[in-house]
Amino acid sequence: MDTLQFWLNDRRIEVTGVNGTTTLLRYLRDHLAATGTKEGCAEGDCGACTVALLEERPGETPTYRAVNSCLLFLPMLQGKRVYTVEGLRDRSRSPDDPEGYHPAQLAMVETRGSQCGYCTPGIVMSLFEATYRDDMGADWQVDDQLCGNLCRCTGYKPIREAGEKVAGLRPDDLFKATMEQYRARDAAVDITARDGLDGMQRYIQPTSFEALWQARAENPGAVLVAGGTDLGLRVTKFREHFPVVIGLEGLAELREIERSPMGWQIGAGVSLTRVMEVVGEELPALHKMLRWFGSRQVRSRATLGGNLVNASPIGDMPPVLAALGAEIELRGSNGTRHVDIEDFFTGYRKTCLEGDEIVAVVHIPNVPRNAFCASYKVSKRRELDISAVAAGMYVELDDAGVVRHIRLAYGGMSAVAASRARRTEAALLGHSWTRENIEAAMPMVDADFLPIADHRASARYRSTVARNLLLGFWLESHRRDRDAFDAHPVGTVRPGGVA
Ligand X SMILES: Cc1cc2nc3c(=O)[nH]c(=O)nc-3n(C[C@H](O)[C@H](O)[C@H](O)COP(=O)(O)OP(=O)(O)OC[C@H]3O[C@@H](n4cnc5c(N)ncnc54)[C@H](O)[C@@H]3O)c2cc1C
Which residue's CB is nearer to ligand X, number 376 or number 474?
A: 376
Provide the H-helix boundaries in 94-150.
Answer: 103-110, 120-132, 140-146
Which residue's CB is nearer to ligand X, number 163 or number 412?
A: 412
Under rule CB under 6 A, residue 40 binds ligand FES: yes
Which residue's CB is nearer to ligand FES, number 165 or number 301?
A: 301
Q: How many residues bind ligand X (CB under 6 A)?
A: 31
Alpha-carbon distance values, 294 to 29, 303, 481 (Å)? 25, 12, 33
Under rule CB under 6 A, residue 44 binds ligand X: yes
Which residue's CB is nearer to ligand X, number 388 or number 438?
A: 388
Partner whose footprint covers residue 115, from ligand X, ligand FES, none (CB < 5 to 8 Å by kind): ligand FES
Under rule CB under 6 A, residue 17 binds ligand FES: no
Cα angle for residues 153, 158, 161 (degrees, 5° grid): 150
Partner whose footprint covers residue 226, from ligand X, ligand FES, none (CB < 5 to 8 Å by kind): ligand X
Q: Who's near 497: CB < 8 A, 6+ residues apart?
A: none
Going by C-alpha positions, the residue among 191, 111, 116 that lies closest to residue 158 is 111
Under rule CB under 6 A, residue 118 binds ligand FES: yes
Under rule CB under 6 A, residue 42 binds ligand FES: yes
Which residue's CB is nearer to ligand FES, number 118 or number 461?
A: 118
Report the Cα–Cα distance between both ends of the chain, in Å, rounded: 45
The C-alpha atoms of residue 294 and residue 387 are separated, in whole angstroms, by 10
Q: How far is the CB of 250 from ligand X (least distance, A)?
A: 13
Under rule CB under 6 A, residue 126 binds ligand FES: no
The C-alpha atoms of residue 324 and residue 441 are separated, in whole angstroms, by 21
Which residue's CB is nearer to ligand X, number 384 or number 493?
A: 384
Going by C-alpha positions, the residue among 66, 193, 197 that lies closest to residue 122 is 66
Q: Using DSSP, state whether 321 is helix, strand or coil.
A: helix
Under rule CB under 6 A, residue 68 binds ligand FES: yes
Select the residue whose beta carbon is closest to ligand X and give its number: 306
- Segment near ligand X (CB under 6 A); pick from 189-197, 223-231, 453-461, 485-493: 223-231
Under rule CB under 6 A, residue 339 binds ligand X: no
Q: Which helix (H) or strand (E) holds 289?
A: helix 284-291
Enumerate residues 268-327 that contact ligand X by CB under 6 A.
Answer: 268, 293-294, 298, 301-303, 305-307, 309-310, 315-316
Partner whose footprint covers residue 42, from ligand X, ligand FES, none (CB < 5 to 8 Å by kind): ligand FES
Q: How far is the CB of 62 from ligand X (least distance, A)?
A: 20
The C-alpha atoms of residue 403 and residue 432 are separated, in whole angstroms, by 6
Partner whose footprint covers residue 359, from ligand X, ligand FES, none (CB < 5 to 8 Å by kind): ligand X
Which residue's CB is nearer to ligand X, number 214 or number 437?
A: 214
Q: Could you tell me how far CA 153 lies from the centroid of its own chain?
A: 28
Binder to ligand X among 223, 429, 452, 498 (CB under 6 A)? Answer: 223
Under rule CB under 6 A, residue 151 binds ligand FES: yes
Going by C-alpha positions, the residue among 324, 316, 290, 295 that lies closest to residue 388 is 316
Under rule CB under 6 A, residue 115 binds ligand FES: yes
CB 259 within 8 A of CB 237: no
Task: List b or e across 12-51, with b for residues whose CB sees 16 or more CB atoms inside 10 angstroms.
Answer: ebebeebbbbbbbbbbbbeeeebebbbbbebebbbbbbbb
Under rule CB under 6 A, residue 153 binds ligand FES: yes
The C-alpha atoms of residue 292 and residue 378 are separated, in whole angstroms, by 10
Which residue's CB is nearer to ligand FES, number 51 or number 279?
A: 51
The C-alpha atoms of residue 400 and residue 384 are separated, in whole angstroms, by 42
Q: How far is the CB of 302 from ligand X (least distance, A)?
A: 4
CB 92 within 8 A of CB 140: no
Q: How many CA atoms lie within 13 A of 194 on its CB side?
A: 2
Which residues sit at the interface with ligand FES, rule CB under 6 A? 39-42, 44-49, 68, 70, 114-120, 151-154
Which residues sit at the interface with ligand X, rule CB under 6 A? 43-45, 223-231, 233, 248, 268, 293-294, 298, 301-303, 305-307, 309-310, 315-316, 358-359, 384
